[in-house]
């Protein structure tokens, strides 16, 4: 497999892991970038948005999260950014509003977009069995690639069991944080287990399905999934700060450090420098809040997919009861979740979380308004801890999109 990464730009200067993944699939500076500020009414609206975003960011850090950065883009293109907490516990420098972070499972939306583009080009069909593209890969212990389709991989209805390496202690992390796993190795681990359910008989969020999608994209195009993401999405949209780092364990500057507590009562461990087990399409991309907002606005705005493929992507199914506990009202499309807004209507996005990072995104159905929030140093000692953070994160996204919608209405 080719492993040439999307190069980062040159810029200035587990049990706990499972809790973070579950939640994801669940003071500060503030900046407003508004060209040509005009009437007092618009200034008041801007101030109201700014204060609400800051209050919600502060509510997250009050739960013990080390750092938060959030960016809201209004329907007229204004950017409001809030930051809270600290970027690292040693210097206690402020969290950068434009900092890099590992987006974890938000990567899945990029991979799904490429798969749907290939479907639109008729280079594959969503109803193709996995066996057609990866003969013999999904087999053994009741796993059958002939019975699983690309659509079922995209929508987490395939039943494949996940088996991921997990750090069991701080010592284990330090010993294995530079380990990397190929897509083939990850899938082989999953094939040691029987399926969790028959295809289309249930729904369960998983990672191995997206590893398989990355392998299928390479088989169809002849290029690794991350190169297709680069050429089909990153470059056309000018996402200059989105890239696949390969097996590099470091992030470009600026970025916040992230921390993890491996057992209750133990000190936090800086886990920023690591390769991580998810780099094969189920996760792996690095980005910024500005780039993710631009991506999701373009996606829902119809700039990346033809109408037929976007309609397929937004055709949803019910998620599991446990998953919905962290994401109330969520329904799953193809690499994209819908959520109800408290002010009416719905929004779309994806969450991602691992090793102290949590990322949440939200964009209105017309692609005009979006918000992205990145959390670092999330303490996930228990599901109850993560639930509290998820609820605060959900409130930030809902407030940002609903307050913006209300403001836009007032300005018309």
Task: Please choose, from the candidates 359, 357, 179, 185, the residue with its C-alpha nearest in 3D space to the C-alpha of residue 274.
Answer: 179
Tokens (6 digits) for 374: 């990145």
Task: Please choose, from the candidates 341, 342, 335, the residue with its C-alpha nearest in 3D space to the C-alpha of residue 314.
Answer: 335
Give the residue numbers annotated as catalytic, written as ranges: 105
**Cβ contact 296:352 at 8 Å:** no
Tokens (6 digits) for 94: 């402020």
Buried b (16+ CB within 10 A) or exposed e, 191-208: bebebeeebbeebbbbbb
Q: Could you give the CA distance from residue 318 to residue 187 in angstroms, rounded to a whole number?
A: 26
């Amino acid at each position: 497999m080719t492993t040439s990464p999307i190069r980062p730009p040159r810029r200035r200067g587990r049990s706990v892991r499972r809790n973070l993944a579950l939640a994801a699939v669940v003071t500060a500076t503030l900046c407003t970038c508004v060209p040509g500020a005009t009437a007092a009414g618009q200034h008041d609206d801007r101030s109201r948005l700014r204060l609400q975003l800051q209050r919600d960011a502060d509510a997250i850090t009050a739960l013990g999260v080390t750092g938060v950065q959030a960016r809201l883009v209004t329907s007229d293109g204004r950017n409001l950014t809030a930051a809270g907490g600290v970027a690292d516990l040693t210097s206690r420098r402020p969290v950068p509003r434009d900092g890099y972070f590992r987006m974890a499972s938000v990567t899945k939306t990029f991979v799904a977009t490429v798969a749907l583009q290939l479907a639109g080009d008729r280079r594959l069909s969503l109803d193709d069995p996995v066996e057609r593209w990866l003969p013999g890969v999904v087999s053994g212990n009741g796993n059958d690639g002939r019975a699983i389709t690309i659509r079922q991989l995209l929508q987490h209805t395939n039943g494949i069991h996940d088996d991921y390496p997990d750090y069991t202690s701080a010592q284990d992390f330090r010993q294995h944080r530079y380990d990397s796993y190929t897509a083939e190795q990850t899938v082989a681990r999953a094939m040691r287990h029987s399926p969790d359910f028959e295809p289309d008989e249930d729904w369960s969020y998983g990672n191995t399905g997206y590893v398989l999608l990355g392998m299928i994209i390479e088989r169809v195009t002849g290029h690794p999934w991350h190169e297709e993401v680069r050429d089909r999405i990153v470059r056309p949209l000018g996402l200059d700060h989105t890239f696949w780092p390969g097996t590099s364990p470091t992030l470009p500057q600026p970025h916040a450090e992230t921390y993890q507590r491996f057992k209750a009562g133990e000190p936090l461990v800086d886990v920023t420098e690591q390769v991580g087990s998810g780099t094969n399409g189920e996760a792996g991309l690095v980005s910024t809040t500005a780039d993710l907002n631009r991506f999701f606005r373009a996606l829902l705005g119809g700039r990346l997919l033809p109408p037929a493929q976007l309609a397929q992507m937004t055709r949803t199914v019910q998620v599991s009861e446990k998953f919905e506990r962290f994401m109330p009202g969520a329904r799953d499309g193809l690499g994209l979740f819908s959520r109800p807004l408290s002010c009416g209507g719905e929004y779309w996005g994806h969450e991602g979380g691992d090793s102290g990072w949590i990322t949440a995104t939200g964009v209105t159905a017309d692609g005009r308004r979006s918000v992205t929030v990145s959390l670092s140093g999330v303490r996930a000692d228990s599901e109850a801890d993560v639930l509290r953070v998820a609820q605060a994160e959900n409130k930030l996204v809902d407030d940002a999109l609903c307050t913006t919608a209300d403001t836009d209405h007032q300005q018309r």
